Structures are given as structure tokens and as C-alpha cells.
Structure 1
Amino acid sequence: MTENPPDADEQGGRKRGRPVQMCPRKRETLVLDCAMELLSERAPDEVTMADIARRAGMSKRTLYTLYRSREELLGAGLARMSRRCSGRCASRNATRRSRTGCGSC
């Protein structure tokens, strides 16, 4: 008689079966984070959907449900990075103006 293998959680590893669904916002954040990491390591032409999917731990099919193309995905990542940089610059300028009392900086 053969014994059933123990579940992975009994072994301290990964559980078997379909992974827990991630909320759409977290999934999109993860995908964009992974895409930007890859862009920091490689030229844009060398970053593929397969690379992004692998880094994010999901399928290319999932990526294509979020974005129609690699260009759209990378564009969304760059737009997010631009918004973050703009926000930081605006925050620094506001802090600088409050310290100096100068409204023209």
C-alpha cells in the first residue's frame, strides 16, 4: 500500500492547488514593480512579457488581461514612476518654500 504524500504546508513549503487570488490593485502594483525592476537591469527592448510574468510569479495570460501589450505595460510603469517623481519634487519645493518663506522657488 502506498502512502499519500503529505501536503506541502505540513512540510513547511508551498501549498498545492490554485494560488490565493490577489486583489486587482495589488496584482497591478506587483506587475508594475517587477517591470520597473527589469527596466533598471536591462534595456527596454530586452524586457519581455515572459520576463515580467516570471518575475511577478504569474502567467503571461494574466499580464495580457491587465495590459494589451508590452508597450502599454511599460508605459504604465513609466507613467507611475513619473507621477511619483513629480509628487516628490512638489513636496520638496513646498518644504523649501516653507523654510525660506520664498514663494517664487
Structure 2
Amino acid sequence: MMTVVTTSTLRPGGEAEWDAAMQARFDSARERPGWISGQLLTSEDESSTRVIVGTWRSREDWEAWHSDPAYLDQRATLQRLEAGPGRSEWFRVVADARADDRA
């Protein structure tokens, strides 16, 4: 299992539209093979900062999603609302714990 963490800085005033486009992107990812989970985070101190945490079965599954039309449709919107290119970092998941895992 792999997690990609992407940090983006948004242009002022575009936060709501960017968040909606990212929600649409999450909705499309749910249908993709290998999708496990995603979170969209915003900093308490920097309202223009967004952090996307996406977890996939493999990096190859994530890469295949990047050719999906639903993914590509939102890319132009997201880029238009960003102050510059985002920064992504990959992590191998060593342990995973969730509230719904309790028996």
C-alpha cells in the first residue's frame, strides 16, 4: 500500500471552487481499481494551503488513474486556482489503523 501526500497553495478567493473540484476528483477515484482512501486537509494557520493524502494499493494504480478522463477534466480547474505547482511525496504504508477496524 502506498500513500501520496501533495501540498498545494491556492490563489486567494479560489478555495471553495478548488475544494469542490477536489471532491469531484475523490468521487472519480472511488471507482478506480486500487483506490483505498483520500483526505483533503487545510492548515489552521494558512487557509490557502491544501494537503491531499491519497492511499492506493500501488503507485501503478495511482498512475493509471491519471489517464482517466474524470481525473483530467478537473486538472485544468485545479491548476488555474493554484498559486504554483504542488509538491508530492510518496510513502510506503507500514501500518494502517482506522476506527472502523475495531472488532
* TM-score of the two chains, using structure 2 as the length reference: 0.31
Higher relative contact order (CA 8 A, sep 6+): 2
